[in-house]
Structure 1
Amino acid sequence: MTPSRAQIILAFAAMYLVGGSVFLGQRVAMHGGLTAFLTSGVRMAFAGAILLAWSRARGGGLAPRRTWLDLAISGSLLFVGGSALSMIASDRIASGLVALLTATVPFWITIGAALLPSGERPVSLGALGLVLGFAGLAIVIVPTVHGDASASGIAISLISAVAWAAGSLWARHRLRALPAMTIASHQMLFGALPLIAIGLGRGELAQLAPTGDGLLALAYLIVFGNLITYQAFVFLMKHVSPTKVSTYAYINPILAIALGSWLAGEHLPPNGLAGAAAILAGVALANLSTGNRSRRRS
């Protein structure tokens, strides 16, 4: 069935608003007595189990065993390298800054795809977007480093973005035959295992001292961050062009910066705001270039 305009608007609203608020939710969770790896592990286990149960109820099945290794690798990159490290960074630097640095994921995907044997090299708008984006990254980083904590937070955010890009590329090239719901549920469940193991190994169980705010943030991340945002993304990918869906990459950071400023008193310096504009413009050019290439191939 063709979705109504209202359904599409609601899906975009969920992807933008909830996606932009996840970073602040992570910060609240960390400040609310929760820990990065155990919290992420519990979050992925619950969300993955719910998605898998929903998929089975709709007639879906388990992923074939031959795909389990690829699901585990991509899930670990996405959720151990991506989500857990992002939570650690959110405890050290402003959540809006974490969101902005995470917005560089399309750059790392472009670079990673170009390095693959059959990958496409960025040209024209894509190359300009990369140059503009990395120039903006330098402008952001320099004025926001104020000691070891902020430097490590920035480094961890960038490592998280690279890990997320690597996990996305791995899934794109190794798991194309599986339904999106099957991929997501299995990635979350497989990713939960190393998350919990690392958390226990780091002694996070003894560090847990959850407050009411922390538990509410965890519930928010599970229900809204994992389930609702993901469903909105899958829905839009079925009914709207990928280029339009990819606008979340530069809308979410803007909302994250605004929410961090409004609710947590976070502020980027003027140079940081200029760099943010350059990064988001670079992402927009990269996405536009991708959309143009897709239309020419079709």
Structure 2
Amino acid sequence: MSQKTAAPRWLVLVAFANIYIVWGSTYLAIVFGLDGIPPFILSFLRFLSAGIILFGWCLLKKESFPAWKNLGRNTICGTLMLVGGSGLVTWAEQFISSGSAAIIIATEPFWFILLDKKCWSTYLSHKLIIAGLLIGFLGVILFFVQSGNTASTSSGQLTAYLVLLGSSVLWVVGSLLSKSKTSKQDSTIMTTAEQLMAAGVVSLLISLLTQEWPGFSFAEVSLRAWGGLLFLIVMGSLVAYLSFIWLISVRPPALVSTHTYINPVVAVLLGGLFAAEKINLLQIGALLVILVGVLLTNIPGYKKQLLPSD
């Protein structure tokens, strides 16, 4: 506990602001980035740049090179979490608002419960967790029903919603896989750098396969798009992520995980303020139902980590 109380209060507040506001604002940054940059080219530039920066930082600290035995696992994890997760979010935001994307991604905690088979005995023994799952997916159904009943909703938008659900699943699968042990463990930052660079390469391959490069010109990219890309690289993939890693070491994970509730709210507010996105009351209601579900599924963990044991 000494480590958890030694951290400067101001630094803790700044780190929480990063994972609350910065991560929540990446959805809007993607909207800006798409103003002239196709989705997988945008992901390629974002991930590879951030990965190279982190890798260079590790070399400056004279860390050892990544273990070759970990290359395959980190490539798979980076592809699932970053390309399957963030990359598909970028693709989906061509068709839907950033706020809507954030609402669907808020379902990730439910997929952790459903897919983490090793912990099923613990999860399914708590009535609150089961209730949270049911309520959370009710919120998802409400969101889809009201979206499908809107006259302006296109088939592309509905497809984007479904892709985002798949994106959440891929992020969780990659996260669970990344927890597996290997014979030699690299540092967290080195592992992240390797995953980011792998995700950048995979995004490049996808951009080639989907014919994003023909007709694309860096000279025609707007200043707003460059600003969005720079924000995603520096603030989203570096500052916010490193803040998250540091907070986990100095504060209870239950407190750090509260960004799950804040990020979609920030995304909806910023999308409305700076991108003229419209979120109706039924969508807001669906978001609240989803967040209530997330809260219920996390209450047992909060009690365990935050309340003193007898």
What letter matches 2:103 in structure 1?
L
With normalisation by structure 1, the TM-score equals 0.93
What letter matches 1:196 in structure 2?
L
* Cα offset, 1:250, TM superposition: 1.1
For the Cα contact (< 8 Å) 2:32–2:227, is it kept in 1? no
Partner of 1:76 in structure 2? 79
1:3 aligns with 2:7: yes
Q: Distance in 1 between matches of 2:64 and 2:107?
A: 34
Measured on the aligned residues, the alpha-carbon RMSD in Å equals 2.1
What letter matches 2:204 in structure 1?
I
Q: Distance in 2 between matches of 1:106 and 1:62?
A: 33
Moved more, 62-71 or 117-126: 117-126
Q: Distance in 2 between matches of 1:224 and 1:201?
A: 29
For the Cα contact (< 8 Å) 1:101–1:157, is it kept in 2? yes
**Structure 2 counterpart of 1:17, from 15, 21, 40:** 21
Any idea what the Cα deviations from partners look like across 1:129-161, whole Å, max 9, x if unmatched? 111110111111111232202101111111111
**Any unmatched runs of 5+ in structure 1?**
none
For the Cα contact (< 8 Å) 1:35–1:207, is it kept in 2? no
Count of residues paired in the alignment: 296
Give the 5 Å matches for 1:13-162.
Answer: 13-30=17-34, 32-113=35-116, 115-116=117-118, 120-122=122-124, 123-145=126-148, 146-162=153-169
* Cα offset, 1:174, TM superposition: 4.1
* Cα offset, 1:287, TM superposition: 2.3
**Structure 1 counterpart of 2:196, from 174, 179, 188:** 188
Q: Distance in 1 between matches of 2:140 and 2:297?
A: 15
Partner of 1:249 in structure 2? 260
**Structure 1 counterpart of 2:176, from 148, 158, 169:** 169
Q: Distance in 2 between matches of 1:278 and 1:164?
A: 22
The SS at the match of 1:285 is helix
Aligned CA distance change for structure 1 residues 170 and 19 (closer, same or farther; 3 Å): same
Q: Distance in 2 between matches of 1:52 and 1:62?
A: 9
Aligned CA distance change for structure 1 residues 42 and 273 (closer, same or farther; 3 Å): same
* Cα offset, 1:243, TM superposition: 0.4
Q: Distance in 2 between matches of 1:100 and 1:67?
A: 34
What letter matches 1:84 in structure 2?
G
The sequence identity of aligned pairs, in percent, is 28
Q: Distance in 2 between matches of 1:119 and 1:67?
A: 30
Q: Distance in 2 between matches of 1:286 and 1:62?
A: 39
Partner of 2:214 in structure 1? 206
**Structure 2 counterpart of 1:219, from 217, 230, 233:** 230
Aligned CA distance change for structure 1 residues 174 and 295 (closer, same or farther; 3 Å): farther
Partner of 1:232 in structure 2? 243
Aligned CA distance change for structure 1 residues 124 and 118 (closer, same or farther; 3 Å): closer
For the Cα contact (< 8 Å) 2:110–2:294, is it kept in 1? yes
For the Cα contact (< 8 Å) 2:50–2:234, is it kept in 1? yes
Q: Distance in 1 between matches of 2:79 and 2:121?
A: 23
Larger Rg belongs to: 2
What letter matches 1:221 in structure 2?
L
Partner of 2:271 in structure 1? 260
What letter matches 2:166 in structure 1?
I
Q: Distance in 2 between matches of 1:35 and 1:241?
A: 39
For the Cα contact (< 8 Å) 1:96–1:257, is it kept in 2? yes
What letter matches 1:275 in structure 2?
A
Aligned CA distance change for structure 1 residues 118 and 263 (closer, same or farther; 3 Å): closer
What letter matches 2:276 in structure 1?
G
What letter matches 1:48 in structure 2?
G
